[in-house]
Structure formats: C-alpha cells, structure tokens
Structure 1
Amino acid sequence: MIIEQLVGNKKLTKIEEQVIQFIQDYPRAVINLSLEQLSKQCFVSQASIIRLCKKLGTKGFADFKIQLASELSSFALDGKQISVDIPIPPNESCENIAKIFYNLSVKTLEHTFNTINFNEIEEAAKLLTEADTVYLYGRGESLILAEDFHYKLIRLGIHSSLETLNGFQEARSSYTNSKINEVALIISQYCNSNQFHYVVDELMSNNIPFILLTATQKTWPYDHFAKVTLRINCLESRHKMGSFTSRTAMLYLLDCIFGQMFSLNYEQNITNLARFSQRKIERDYYYRNTHSTDNSD
C-alpha cells in the first residue's frame, strides 16, 4: 500500500524523505497538485519526485496520485481496503459486518489519537471550564454530537445552552452582559451552510469567543476567527452511507475535551456528579410513589 510505504520505507534519500514528509502532512493537497507545483513546494526537482514514485511501485507521479486518492478514501482492515463511504460489501454476513464496524472504529480512534494536538484540547477545555455560559451549535449529525456534549455539561452543573431548531440557533439577543463570561462551541463537518455563517456572525457581533470542531481542512477565515480550531482528518466523501469515521473521531475529541474539563475541577465535579445522581434517585422515587397512588384510585 502506498501510505504504508510512505511511513515504513527506510531506503530513502534525504531529498525523498523531504517529499514524503510533505505528502504525509498534506496528502489531500498533493492529489490536486501538478508535478511542477509539488516540486516547488518541496524545493526538489521534478525528476526526484518521479524517481520516488517509481521507487514506491507506481508508474509515475500521475499513477501515484491515483493510488493515493484511492487509499485516502479507505482503511486497511485485516489486509483488505475497506471504503469508509460504503464499508459494507454486498451479501456480507452479520458477523463480518460487526467486525468491519469494530475495525473501522479502532482504526479511526488510533489515527485520531496519533494526530491530536494536546495543546488545543487543553486550551478548549480551559475556555469552556472558565465560562459562565456555554453555547453549543450543530446541524444534522453534528447536532447529535452537540446534544451528547450538552448533556455531559449538565451533569457537571455547567450552564449549557443548545437550541435544536435552525431558526433559533441563528437568532440571538443583541444584549450582552460584560460581567458574564460566554464561550461557544461550534461543531460543523463542512463549515459551508448558511446557518454556520449566521452563527459565526452572531457570535462575533457579540464578541463571544468560539471553539470550532470540523472535518474541513480549509476553513479560512473562520479558523482565524476561532479561539481554537480542532480538526479531524475526514476520509469520507459526500456520497457516504453514514458518518461512521467522522462521528467516531469527533465524539472522541469531544470526550477528550470533557475529560480535561473534569480533571481541571476534579473534586468539585465529583461532588456535582453525586448531586446529579441523588436528584435522579429522588425524582425516580417520587414518580414511582405517585404512579402507585394513581393506580390505586
């Protein structure tokens, strides 16, 4: 496999290692570059790149890009290339389908962990922990992730606000209280919907800092506006049967942020969880008794 050879090939010259490093850092960009553009970006000759491509088992740069593009849209699982867009082959058994999704999740978590910027996780957790109010935004499948994070914050007693309807997400009072520390978290896979643009505009108009979690590599100028931008390396296309890898990666990063938040105020959060659990027990006891009384009438 091309990607495995990029990582594991030890018979490379210094110039070839320089090209390999650029390809590893910007694999999707390389697919769209010409041979001349790549040589200028890496400060090496075109002939050196062609020799490298042939050393990796391809016919030349064009063939290398075709194979790289193919592998970027799939994972190597049990020696087979599985598409992340449609990972299920036809007429597959239930056991093998379960194995495919298991392996897909494992590979996604492994890849995401290896590319985490821990400083960004810590900065995002600090911003959210110090906020008096946290605003959460998401749309479609991103909204489901936002709701999960919203519930986790509630369990810790953090004042979290999440509007589930698009129109309500885009509208916000123009009145702000300078004494209240507000922070927002926006989850958006592509950062290209009208709602996303409206939300960013509202936050910036009200001087509310925001954290951006996305699968898009090109988010300018929004990554410039965001206090923290967290990116996952999404291999999925628009023609996917479901957001399996992107969902797993985003949920993992959100759990990392939440875990860091919990750690920052550990003792207080242990107390908050105990109170939350006690309230649920008391409510359940009350409703059970009320239900029994109603049935006896």
Structure 2
Amino acid sequence: MNGFVRIREFEESYTSTEKLIAKYILEHGNEILNYSAQILGEKTNTSAAAIIRFSKKIGFKGFSDLKMNLAQSHSNEQHDLDVDIIFNENDDMTSLVDKGCRLNMNTVLKTYQLINVSELENAINLLCNASTIYLFGVGGSSVIANDIEQKLIRIGKKVIYNNDLHIQMTFTQSMTKGDTALIISYSGTTAGLVDISKILVEKNIPYISITQINQNLISKNSTVALRVPSEEKELRIGAVSSRISSFVITDLLYYGVFKKNFDKNKDNLIDSRNNVSILKK
C-alpha cells in the first residue's frame, strides 16, 4: 500500500482542511517523517487531531502508521494517461498498442499499491468460512463476477450468482449470517446494489465490497472494503481500467482462498478439470 498514491486517490473526497494536509504531505514527503502530528498540524494550520483523522481516512491506523508507510513509498509516481479517452482518431496502431500497454501497466501497478493486506486477509477469511458465497454485480461488473464464480466453483466453494439485478435482489431473502456476499461496483453507487447492501446490513450478513477508493455507500456499509483506483469518469468509452483493477482484486481473493486449504483445493481443481473433460469426448 503506497501512502502517496492513497493520498492522491482520496483527493475528491477531502474537506478544505484535509486538502491542506494532503498538499503539504505531497510537497514535503521527506520532511514530515520527522514530524509529530502536533508539528504537522502547526505547519498546515490545522491540528494534531485533524492529522490523525486524515491518516485514518486514507486507511492507516494513525499518523505514525502513515509516516512508516511514506518512508517506504515513492512520491514520484508517474501520472496517468487520460484513461477515459486513451487514443485519438489520428493514432496509428503502434501508438494505440503503446498507449494500451502503458495504461494497463499503470492501472495494475496502482491497484497493487492501494492494497491493504490486512483487509484483503479479512475478506479471504470471510470467503473461506462462508456457507454460501453470493455475488452481486451488474453491467461491466458482471464479467468480473462471472470470472470469480467459475474459479471458486472449480475448487468446491458453493457460489450463487445471476447477472440479472432483480434476481440478485431475491438472493437476500434466503441469505443467513453464515453466508458472505461480494458486491462489485466501481462507482459504489449503482442503483439496486446500494439497496442490497442496506438489506445485508439489516440482516447482519457480512459482505465484501470492491469499489473505487472515493467514499461511497456500498463501501461505507461493507464489512470489508477493498478499493481500486478512481481512474474513470462518468463519461467513458468503456469500463477499461476499472475492469482490469477489479480482476486484480478478485484474482488475489481467489489465490488467498485457494492457499487456505491448498491440498484439498488442488484436488478439487483436478477433479473439476477431469469432469469437464468428459464433455469433450
């Protein structure tokens, strides 16, 4: 988890006070490593309490935790391309390939830098201990949900998914506290999925969210919030970066679940492959 990246990614949700703190840290990254919260508060004309709240808002336990991370991170991350329109009508194919490569590499790198390992482990434990895993996601997110559904089913996990939002809503009727849900929504504000998240909270059913890093209702209500970079705007040519970054997260979830019971899951994967091979005969 790269602290400098997280500071930039939360930018749109900052209050005026938080903007002052973020700006100072980004401009004086090395200096603040020797500061206390009190000193940084004085430097930014805020307060020690504001510094601590800021640190927690972007995913750290406190200012000391943030400083430790910044000491190990790099502040000179390459800024993104305009990910909403990565090409123009005059680009030749070589330029298009180059832009696509850099966009994908930048998205993957930033996604890994934003990962909170502790939260990822919590999410993996929820999936491993769930009686049934219910997946929620529509539109571009349905591709991601279908992918992790197939992966988990092949290692013997009980997973339920349907890409129709109305059917997804009916899932909540039969879900119990022993189940776990995974909601995939880049915006975190998708109509219907927000309503589902509220129902899950009311029924005390744990759920994992995969959303952009900005504040949103789905991540706010979730048991475990996993974040992807906020790289796409409302008007876009397609869910490009969000799809790539979400696949990074769901693949890590799958790897973690697999590792928890490695030998059994390996056997399940072999059995699944053998069963599927019958269809080819």
Bin of the TM-score, shorter chain as denominator length: 0.7 to 0.9
**Matched AA of 1:271:** D
Cα separation, partners in 2 of 1:275 and 1:233, compared to 1, 3 Å: same
Give matches, 1:52-131, under 5 Å.
76=78, 82-131=81-130
**Matched AA of 2:41:** F
Q: How far apart, CA to CA, are the structure 1 residues paired with 2:254 and 2:93?
A: 34
Give the SS at the match of 1:194. coil
Cα offset, 1:25, TM superposition: 1.6
Cα offset, 1:284, TM superposition: 1.8
Cα offset, 1:224, TM superposition: 4.4
After superposition, the C-alpha distances for 1:233-260 in whole angstroms (9 at most, x for unaligned) are: 2121112212222211111011111111
Cα offset, 1:159, TM superposition: 0.7
Cα separation, partners in 2 of 1:271 and 1:214, compared to 1, 3 Å: same
- TM-score normalised over the length of structure 1: 0.69
Contact 1:138/1:188 (8 A) holds in 2 = yes
Residue of structure 1 aligned with 2:11, choices 23, 29, 49 = 29
1:43 aligns with 2:25: no
Cα separation, partners in 2 of 1:36 and 1:186, compared to 1, 3 Å: closer
1:200 aligns with 2:197: yes
1:214 aligns with 2:196: no
Give matches, 1:2-21, under 5 Å.
none
After superposition, the C-alpha distances for 1:237-289 in whole angstroms (9 at most, x for unaligned) are: 1122122222111110111111111111110011001100111112221xxxx
Q: Report the equivalent of 2:133.
A: 134
1:254 aligns with 2:253: no
Query: Using CA pairs below 8 Å that are at least 6 residues apart, which structure has the higher relative contact order?
Result: 2
Q: Report the equivalent of 2:61.
A: none
Higher gyration radius (CA):
1
After superposition, the C-alpha distances for 1:128-174 in whole angstroms (9 at most, x for unaligned) are: 01112000000111111111111111111111000211111112363
Cα separation, partners in 2 of 1:23 and 1:277, compared to 1, 3 Å: closer
Contact 2:83/2:231 (8 A) holds in 1 = yes
**Matched AA of 1:87:** I
Percent identity of the aligned residues? 24
Give the SS at the match of 1:212. strand
Cα offset, 1:186, TM superposition: 0.3
Residue of structure 1 aligned with 2:183, choices 173, 183, 186 = 186
**Matched AA of 2:229:** N
Q: Structure 2, unaligned stretches of length 5 or more?
A: 25-39, 46-76
1:266 aligns with 2:262: yes
1:226 aligns with 2:208: no
Q: Report the equivalent of 1:64.
A: none
- TM-score normalised over the length of structure 2: 0.73
Contact 1:136/1:186 (8 A) holds in 2 = yes
Cα separation, partners in 2 of 1:227 and 1:173, compared to 1, 3 Å: closer
Cα separation, partners in 2 of 1:39 and 1:165, compared to 1, 3 Å: closer
Q: How far apart, CA to CA, are the structure 1 residues paired with 2:120 and 2:17?
A: 36
Cα separation, partners in 2 of 1:27 and 1:147, compared to 1, 3 Å: closer
Give the SS at the match of 2:171. coil
Q: How far apart, CA to CA, are the structure 1 residues paired with 2:253 and 2:95?
A: 33
Q: How far apart, CA to CA, are the structure 2 residues paired with 1:46 and 1:177?
A: 48
Cα offset, 1:38, TM superposition: 2.1
**Matched AA of 1:210:** Y
Contact 2:172/2:200 (8 A) holds in 1 = no
